[in-house]
Amino acid sequence: MTPRFAPGTHVRVAEGEPSGHVRTPYYIRGRHGIVERVCGAFRNPEELAYGRRDGPPVPLYRVRFVQSDVWPDYGGRPGDTLDVELYEHWLEEVTP
């Protein structure tokens, strides 16, 4: 499977609240970040949790977020970042 996003792509994390097993942390949903790297393609853990093993591999990305964008009251250094690994179906490209 060819990854949809390349390193340096600006993305937004979906804000959905699906029921069941979800791997994307709630605190990062709706936030904007930059793809730091493509980690490879793997079976979707949200499907694997229910024994569904027939789906195709899904690209996994490491996305970098500025901490103060994630937590507005963040008290650390302004340039501090947080990296989160997210599957492609949770991401959409945005204009910087």
Which pLDDT band holds residue 48 (cuts at 50, 70, 90)? low
- The pLDDT assigned to 42 comes to 86
The answer to whether residues 82 and 13 touch, using CB atoms and an 8 Å cutoff, is: no
| pLDDT over 90 at 85, yes or no | yes
pLDDT-based confidence at residue 7 (cuts at 50, 70, 90):
very high
Neighbours of 63 (CB within 10 A): 25
The whole-angstrom separation of Cα 84 and Cα 62 is: 6
Top-confidence residue, 31 or 46: 31
Say if domain 10-93 classifies as CATH 3.60.15.10. Answer: no
Q: How confident is the model at residue 43 (pLDDT cuts 50, 70, 90)?
A: confident
Residues constituting the chain: 96
H or E element at residue 64: strand 58-66
Return the residue matching tokens 């997210």: 86
Q: What is the arithmetic mean of pLDDT over 43-48?
A: 74
Least confident segment among 46-50, 53-57, 61-65: 46-50
CA angle 22, 24, 30 (to 5 degrees): 125
